[in-house]
Structure formats: C-alpha cells, structure tokens
Amino acid sequence: MWLSGGALVICVVMVLGLLSLVFWKGAATFWPMPVDRFTTVDGRPYMGEITRHDTYRPALTAYNNLAPEVVAQAETLLADTGGVSDRDLVRTGNFRLTQNHFHWVEEFEIARRDQPEWAMVLERLEWGRFYGLLEAFLILHPAASAEEAHTLLAALEPEMGLALRLVDRRFIDGAEQTVLLPPTALGEAQGLLAVAEVANGPEVAWQAFEEHHGEVRERWEERRRLEEFDTGEVNHTQEKARLAVRKVELQLQEIAEQEGEQSPAWHTAQATLEAKRTNYAKVSAWADGEFARIREEIDAINQENSRYQLLLRAAGEGAIPAQSTLVRLDDIVRAYPANRVSWRDKLGIYLSRWHEFLTDDPREANSEGGVFPAIFGTVTMTLIMSLLVVPLGVLAALYLREYAKAGPLVSGVRIAVNNLAGVPSIVFGVFGLGFFCYVMGASIDELFFAAHLPNPTYGKGGLLWASFTLALLTLPVVIVATEEAVSAVPNSMREGSYACGASKWQTIQRIVLPRALPGVITGMILAIARGAGEVAPLMLVGAVKLAPELPIDGLFPYLHPERSFMHLGFHIYDVGFQSQNSEAAKPMVFTTTLLLIGIIAVLNFTTIWLRNRLGRRFGGGQF
C-alpha cells in the first residue's frame, strides 16, 4: 500500500514541479523590471535590467588583466567574504552600438549603482531592446543647408509646448553624437541635419511621446495592412491570370501531341491562349499600377512617420562611450520609463506584452514579437487531425469488436494496432514524407496543379499531410480506447435489442455507440494531447521556422491545406536551440511552453465538456 502511495506522491510531485516551473518562469517573462545603472571602479558604465544573479568563487587568475583599482577593491571585498563574490547578468541591449545583448557585472568592480529616474526601456521592431536616458522628443523638418534651415526657422510655428531647435551631428571624443542647438547658433552647426520642433527635457518629452506614439503606430498599422492584404490581393489576381495562361499552354501541348498541330481543336486552343495572354498582359499592367500606387502610399506613410523621433542618451557599455542617438517613433513597439512606472502601469505593460505575444506575427527571426501563426497552425492541425482520426478509428474498432469473428487474423490485427502505438513518431514522419508528400502529393500535383509545376503544391510538406501523418500516429490510441469502451457494453443490452427485432447496425447505432461514447471521447482526448504535443514528425511534413501566411485567409479558396505552417512545439525547439540571442530567448521558451500546455488543456477541457454534455443527453435512456 505505502509503495503504491509513495509512487503516486512521486508522480504528483514531479508533474506539479514541472508545471509550476513552466508556469512561474513563463508567466514572469513579461513583467517589466527596473533599470539599474552601474559604474565600475575604473569608470566603465553598464545600464540595463538585471536578469540573473549568481554567487561564485572567482579564481585569482580571473582578474589579471583588470585595472589595478579594480583588483584592489576585489581583494578587500573577497578577503571580507572569504573568497565568495556575487555577480549580476545585466541585459544591456543596444546591440547595434555595442554588439552585446548581456553583460556580467561583478560585485567587486562596482563603484556606484543607481536607478536613474528617466531610464527608458524601448522595445523596437528591429535590433532588440534599447536602454537609454530620455532627453527630448522631436518632430523633424530636414534641412540640408543653412539657407534651408533659415527659411524653415522663419516659416515654422511649433506646436503647443514645443520649441524650435537645430539638430546637429558631430564627433565628440571619437563618437558620433546628436546634439540640439538653439536657433541662433546656426553658424556653429557641424553636420546640420534638420530643424526640429523639440520637447526638451524628459518630462515634456515623455508627455509628447505618449501623445504622438499612438497616431504614429496607427499609421504604421495602416502601412502593414497595405503591405499584407492589399498587395496580397493584387498578387493573387495576377497569379491566377498567369496560371490560366499556363493551363491553356499545357492543353495546347497535349492537343498538339494527340491530334497534331493545325487540327481544329488546336486552332481553338490557340485562340483561347491568345485571349488568355492578352488578359494576363492586361492584369499585369493593372497589377504593376496597383503595386506602384501601394508603394507610393507606403512611402508617404513612412516619410510622415520618420519625422517623429526620440533623442536618447545610451549609457554606453564598457569601453564604448555614452552617446546620444535618435530613435524613430514608428520603430518603437513599446516604451516606458522603467523606474517611474507605477504598479498599475506595470500591469498594463505586462498585459500588453501578452496581447502582442498572442496576436502578433513573429519578428527578428522568431526571437521577438508574437506567435499567432504558430497558435493558429497548432490548433488547425489538431482539429483536422481529430476530424480524420476519430471516424476512422471508431469504425475500425467497431468492426474488430462487433463484426469480425475472433480468430488468428483478428488477434493479429489487434497486435499490429497495439504495436503501431509503440513505433517511434519520427518513423511516422518519414512515412508521411515518403508516402503523403512525395507519392500522393506529387500525383495530385500532376493531375490538378500541372500549371504550377515545377513548384510543388501538394508535393511537399503542408498542413494537410501533417494532419494525415498525426492522424496515423494517434490512430492506435483511438482504436484501443473505442474497443475497450465497446467491449464494456454488457451483452445483455445487445441481446435485448436483438429481441426487440433490431438489426445489427441499429443495435450498434442506438445501443452500443451511445453507451461507448464517453470512452470514445476519452480516446479522442488522448489523441489530441498526443498529437498537439508531437514535434518530431512535423519537422519532416510541413512545420517550418517562418510561414506568416496562415492556412485560412480571405483569398479564394479560403482554406489552403497545402501550405506549410508554424507549430508551437517546433517554435519552442527553434527558439530554444537555434536563436542567436539565446539568453533572451530562454524565457520565451518557457512562455511558449506555457502557451502550448494551455492550448492543449483548453482543447481537452472542450472535449471533456462535450463528453459530459453528450453523456447527459444519451444518459436519459440508460439505467
């Protein structure tokens, strides 16, 4: 008794431990942290969020090329603590300036540590995070020459609360800096860039930023909509016209081979071809015009957006000096003064990060942005898989239990099914690739999509083939569960049904299946849980690193089961093992895992709810 109890306790502890680890790490990822600024004894600055803390015994050799004052401080400190020292892993960001995302700051080299009030955290579309001190908000009016600047200064009337300044770029101590000059200092400019309406000082700049960021981002969204939907539609129309031409061309070839050139059929086809070609030329011309128009709109939006910028002072890192940099507002996804935000604002940032994660496309080779395509791919694939596997598995199990006569053949089949459950999943992947993609897919392509060749349509990995492969993989689960459920229906009920004059199928349909239904659905739950979490076979039959086009969209025929798709499980593998900035990717792995577990739980609970409902409905006739 105590042995089995102990085993249960160990199981529960392990499962709960894993779940709570995933939950804790995954849920904490998006919580905004304060920004710390360190200055070392020899004057090197580091600023960023602290991500990890470590206590260790530094070896004496570790600091043989450090500055002497650092070594001195280190020796006093280590003597006090008995050779144990602390260090913090600081996310310093600013990769473009420093070529580093993270830095270990040793406790013994810190001279000063503070949390600057206006330290900003910027999440950008490109180049990852930026940490810097807020200096000013600018609306730029580019001016290449002094005369231009002069006219601009005379003509411009700055917005409420903003002042006119000159934006100048110059080298100070070997680093290029952006500085603001008063309008009277036009003569002193070294690399005049623009005249700007400026909100100078962090407080006003932050106010102006909050005021303008929304509209800039709205324009950016508009631009993205143009890029995705409008262009997609034009492109689709053009591709359709091209395929129409190609189809007739292929027909013409066939006719020429079968009936010879100059036959009446050949002439008709020739005429159609001409018509299609003219049509294609027309569509192409129209499409080019549309593309140019869309391009123009995008350029206009870009240009308007590029006027709004923030001036920040990067803290510098190590040997790299502090410098002032401009950041475009439309490049900023989210910005906040990390050391000033209240608890409520933090919660807002936290939730908005989750929102982005759940609804947005991935950015920067999947290391940032959201996972929406992966969520969509996982759910669609699992649903298609269940639709395939449940009817097939149930029918097969019914035959085995109700129709087939027990004998060596049936038990042979049963053994085979049970063994199928033990086959490694990658084998199913190989089978799916070899049979579904290369044999079935290629034949479908030849029959129906000849015009697309040599580009394969179904002859490669895709959503449909992935669902088929996983359906095969989970088939044994459904068959075994259904068989158990069907055999649990007491024979007396069947006999009663026959006694009332019901046929075999009527008995199965009205008596056996309703009673077995909860068991069947249990099989389905197990199948979903197994299928949604499977990754290895998917890598072969259609899950890819990046496929922002969803398998369902607004373009005819709306459902595109042939497309490659993204999958959460594969996404975890990719982010965990392939991403360049692996330190920043680690928490994302936990978050994605949490999400995957959540989705499987939701799918399962839906099925359980369905089971209970159905159980109640059919339960009425039972005793």
Q: Which of residues 175-234 bind other proteins (CB under 8 A)?
A: 175-178, 193-194, 226-228, 231-232, 234
The first and second tokens of residue 269, run together, are 């086809």
Q: Which of 163, 186, 320, 392 binds other proteins (CB under 8 A)?
A: 320
- Give φ, ψ of 314 to 5 degrees: -70, 140
CB of 328 to other proteins, least distance (A): 6
- Considering only residues 258-287, where is the footprint of other proteins by CB under 8 A? none
Task: Please say which residue, 396 or 568, places its beta carbon nearer to other proteins.
Answer: 568
Query: Is residue 58 within the footprint of other proteins (CB under 8 A)?
Result: yes
Do the strands 175-181 and 163-172 form a parallel or antiparallel pair, or are they unpaired?
A: antiparallel
Query: Is residue 307 within the footprint of other proteins (CB under 8 A)?
Result: yes
CB of 18 to other proteins, least distance (A): 18
Q: Which strands make up the sheet holding 45-56, listed edge to edge?
A: 102-106, 85-91, 45-56, 36-40, 110-114
Task: Please say which residue, 515 or 567, places its beta carbon nearer to other proteins.
Answer: 567
Query: Is residue 59 within the footprint of other proteins (CB under 8 A)?
Result: yes
- Considering only residues 328-347, where is the footprint of other proteins by CB under 8 A? 328, 331
Q: How big is the CA angle at 205 (ends 200 and 211), to the nearest 5 degrees? A: 140
CB of 246 to other proteins, least distance (A): 14
- Considering only residues 558-617, where is the footprint of other proteins by CB under 8 A? 564, 573, 576-583, 585
Query: Is residue 83 within the footprint of other proteins (CB under 8 A)?
Result: no
Q: Which of 41, 70, 97, 489 binds other proteins (CB under 8 A)?
A: 97
* DSSP assignment of 264-312: HHHHHHHHHHHHHHHHHHHHHHHHHHHHHHHHHHHHHHHHHHTTEEEEE
CA atoms within 13 A on the CB side of 569: 20
CB of 280 to other proteins, least distance (A): 13
Q: Which residue has the tokens 């593309």?
A: 291
Q: How far is CA 603 from CA 25, 378, 534, 543, in A?
A: 23, 11, 15, 20
Query: Is residue 127 within the footprint of other proteins (CB under 8 A)?
Result: yes
Neighbours of 214 (CB within 10 A): 9
Report d(CA 199, CA 430) in Å as an integer.
62
Task: Please say which residue, 125 or 526, places its beta carbon nearer to other proteins.
Answer: 125
Query: Is residue 469 within the footprint of other proteins (CB under 8 A)?
Result: no
CB distance 93 to 128 below 8 Å: yes
Using alpha carbons, select from 310, 282, 298 the residue that is nearest to residue 228: 298
Q: Of the ranges 200-208, 267-275, 317-325, 519-527, which one interacts with other proteins (CB under 8 A)?
A: 317-325
Report d(CA 457, CA 442) in Å as an integer.
8
- Considering only residues 522-541, where is the footprint of other proteins by CB under 8 A? 539
- Considering only residues 421-460, where is the footprint of other proteins by CB under 8 A? 454-456, 460
User: For other proteins, how many residues bind (rule: CB under 8 A)?
Assistant: 86
Query: Is residue 297 within the footprint of other proteins (CB under 8 A)?
Result: no
CB of 501 to other proteins, least distance (A): 60
Q: Which of 69, 360, 549, 553 binds other proteins (CB under 8 A)?
A: 549
Task: Please say which residue, 316 or 523, places its beta carbon nearer to other proteins.
Answer: 316
Query: Is residue 323 within the footprint of other proteins (CB under 8 A)?
Result: yes
Per-residue binding string, other proteins, 3-42, x by CB under 8 A, is ----------------------------------------
CB distance 312 to 133 below 8 Å: yes
The first and second tokens of residue 362, run together, are 């991935």
CB of 141 to other proteins, least distance (A): 7
Q: Which of 199, 326, 516, 535 binds other proteins (CB under 8 A)?
A: 326
Task: Please say which residue, 58 or 518, places its beta carbon nearer to other proteins.
Answer: 58
Q: Which residue has the tokens 């982005």?
A: 356
**Max intra-chain CA distance, the chain:** 108
Task: Please say which residue, 98 or 272, places its beta carbon nearer to other proteins.
Answer: 98
Q: Which of 155, 160, 447, 499 binds other proteins (CB under 8 A)?
A: 155
Task: Please say which residue, 100 or 270, places its beta carbon nearer to other proteins.
Answer: 100
Using alpha carbons, select from 173, 448, 165 the residue that is nearest to residue 309: 165
User: Quick one: residue 398, left, alpha or beta (phi over 0 = left, psi -120 to 50 = alpha)?
Assistant: alpha
CB of 281 to other proteins, least distance (A): 13
The first and second tokens of residue 493, run together, are 């009920």
Q: Which of 100, 207, 251, 487 binds other proteins (CB under 8 A)?
A: 100
Does an H or E element contain 146, and which? Answer: helix 146-155
